[in-house]
Structure 1
Amino acid sequence: MAHPVQWFIWTVYPYLMLGSFIFGTIIRFAFYPASVTAKSSELLEKRRLMRGSIFFHVGIIMVFFGHIVGIFIPKVWTDALGIPNEVYHMFALVAGGLGGLAALIGMLILTYRRFSDVRVHMTSTLSDLIVNVSLLIIIILGLSATFIVSATQPEFNYRENLSIWGRQLFYFRPNYLLMLNVPLLFKAHVFFGLAIFGFFPYTRLVHAFALPIRYIKRRYLVYRKRPQL
C-alpha cells in the first residue's frame, strides 16, 4: 500500500532541509559574512545569560554526540563487542537524559530571559524569539520520546529502524517504510529537528560556525590603567 505523504516526509523532506542547511550556510558566509555574528545582549543582562548558556551548550554537545553514536553505530557492532542491548539502552538513557536535561534547563533559562527581560525582549528580532521557542520544543520532544516511549513501548528499538533510516540518508537510499512504525514522538522529534537544520542558515544559530580562529594568533591586548594626575 502506497503512503505518498509518508514517502515525501521521510524521503524528500530530509534532503530539502539538509540542502537548505548546506547551501544556505555557504551563501550566508559568502555573501553576508558581516551578518554571521550574533548580536550580544550580555550588556543588558548577564547573570541568566551565563547560567543558561553554560547549561545549554554543555547539554547540547552531549546530546549531539549521543545522536551521532545512536545513528552511526549499528546494533551489529555493539552485539559483536558483546554489549547487551539492555546495557546499551541504559547507558543511552542516562547519558542522553543528563545531556537533554542540561540543555532543557539552559533553554528554559534563556527563553525566560528573552521573553521576561524588557530590554532583552525589545532588542530581540522575531527570528530570535522563534529560535528560542523552537529549540525548547525540540528538546522537550526529544526527552519525551526517550522516556515516555521507553516506559510505554519497551519493545521499540530505534536502532532497528530509525537509526538505519538515518544512515541510509547519507548514501541517498532512505527506505521510508522503516519509519512507518516509529512512535509519533520520535517522528515529531526528527521532523522538527530537520526543520531546525533547514532554517539554521537564516537565523542567529549560524554563528555556531563562526569560530574565532584568528584570535589564536592575535597578539595580546594590553590594558593600562590611566595614571592619576
Structure 2
Amino acid sequence: MDGAEIGIWDILLWGVLPYVVLAVVIGGTIWRYRYDQFGWTTRSSQLYESRLLRIASPLFHFGILAVLVGHIVGLIIPKSWTDTFGVTEDMYHVGALGIGGIAGIATLLGIAMLIWRRRTTGPVFMATTANDKFMYILLVGAILAGLATTVISVFDHSVTNYRETVSPWFRSIWILQPDVAAMAAAGLSFKVHVLWALALFMVWPFTRLVHAFTAPLHYFFRPYIVYRSRDARRGGQGSTPVRRGWDPIGTPDRERTGGRRR
C-alpha cells in the first residue's frame, strides 16, 4: 500500500516471520507424524465426564468451523469480487458482525465450558499438562482478539479496511511476494490478532491441536464391524433357540454316553 512507512520491524514481522511459522508448522507436523503417531490424538477424556462435554465440544467445534469459513471469505476472496456481485461495504460489515460475532461467541463459550470442565473434573484436571494450559491461553487469546477486531472494524470508521490491508498481505504470502506495506498500514488490533494467530500456529504441531490436520475420511469407506455372526451348526432363522450356557467340552466319556453321566 502506497504511503505506508516500512521499518525493520515491519519487514521482520510481516515479511520474515510468516515464513518462519510456515517452516515450523510443516516441519513440526512431519516430525510429529514420524516420531509421535501414538501422541497424535486429542487424548479424549469422555470416559471421565460426558454430560458437559456433549454441549461444549459441538459448540466449540462448529463455532470454530464457522470462524474458519469467515476467515476464508475475508482473507482469500478479494474485495473486487464481492463488489462485482453487488455486496456493498455495509452489507459485508453487517454479515461480518452478525455471522462472525455469533460464531466467535459460540466458539468462546464452548472453549470456556471445556476449560471449566477440565478445571473442575478431577481426573480430567489431573490429565492436563502444562502444554495444554499454554495451548488454551493462546487459543482463547486468538478468539478474543478476533472478536475485538470484528467489533472495532465495524464501529470504528477510522480503522483501515482489513480487506485492503490484511487480506492482500495474506494472499501475497502464498506467492512468495509479501506485501509488507499493506500489513504495515493495518490497524493495531489487526496486527495484534495476526501476531497472536502466528504464535498459535507455531505451537500447533506440538499440541493436541495437531489432530485437526487428520481428517477421518476412511470412516466413510471402511467395512462394517461385525460383533457376532450366525453359526450354521446352530441353525438359522426359525430354528429352536440355543440354550444359553457353556458348550459341552466333548470328552470321550461324553461322546460314548451321549453327554449323560453314568
Question: TM-score normalized by structure 1?
Answer: 0.91
- What's the CA shift for 1:87? 0.9
- Report the secondary structure of 2:43's partner residue: coil
Paired residue type of 2:138:
S
- The reply on whether 1:77 has 2:81 as its aligned counterpart is yes
Equivalent of 2:41 in 37, 40, 44: 37
Equivalent of 1:199 in 199, 203, 217: 203
Question: Is 100-109 or 144-153 further displaced after alignment?
Answer: 144-153
1:145-156 equivalence runs, <5 A: 145-153=149-157, 156=160
- The reply on whether 1:121 has 2:134 as its aligned counterpart is no
Name the residue aligned to 1:140. Answer: 144
Paired residue type of 2:11:
W
Name the residue aligned to 2:260. Answer: none
Name the residue aligned to 1:219. Answer: 224
Equivalent of 2:28 in 24, 42, 56: 24
1:46-65 superposed Cα distances (whole Å, 9 cap, x missing partner): 12222111111011000101
- Report the secondary structure of 2:225's partner residue: coil
Paired residue type of 2:123:
R
Paired residue type of 1:72:
I
Structure 2, unmatched stretches of 5+, are 230-242, 246-262
In the alignment of these two chains, the number of paired residues is 227
1:81-130 superposed Cα distances (whole Å, 9 cap, x missing partner): 22211112211221111111110110111112222322211111111111
Equivalent of 2:116 in 112, 120, 125: 112
1:4-28 superposed Cα distances (whole Å, 9 cap, x missing partner): 1121011111111111111211221
Calculate the aligned-residue CA RMSD, in Å: 2.0
Counterpart-to-counterpart distance in 2, 1:84 and 1:222? 57
Structure with more helix by fraction: 1
Percent identity, aligned pairs only, is: 37
- What's the CA shift for 1:131? 1.3
Counterpart-to-counterpart distance in 1, 2:152 and 2:85? 29
Question: Is 208-217 or 6-15 further displaced after alignment?
Answer: 208-217
Kindly indicate whether the alpha-carbon contact (under 8 Å) linking 1:37 and 1:210 is maintained by their aligned counterparts in 2: no
Structure 1, unmatched stretches of 5+, are none
Counterpart-to-counterpart distance in 2, 1:113 and 1:33? 27
Counterpart-to-counterpart distance in 2, 1:105 and 1:223? 42
Paired residue type of 2:188:
L
- Report the secondary structure of 1:153's partner residue: coil
Counterpart-to-counterpart distance in 2, 1:228 and 1:154? 79
Paired residue type of 1:57:
H
- The reply on whether 1:165 has 2:159 as its aligned counterpart is no
Question: Is 113-122 or 208-217 further displaced after alignment?
Answer: 208-217
Equivalent of 2:103 in 93, 99, 102: 99
Name the residue aligned to 2:53. Answer: 49
- What's the CA shift for 1:221? 4.2
After TM superposition, what 4+ stretches of structure 1 lie above 6 angstroms from structure 2? Answer: none
Kindly indicate whether the alpha-carbon contact (under 8 Å) linking 1:138 and 1:192 is maintained by their aligned counterparts in 2: yes
Counterpart-to-counterpart distance in 2, 1:73 and 1:214? 31
- What's the CA shift for 1:155? 5.2
Question: TM-score normalized by structure 2?
Answer: 0.80
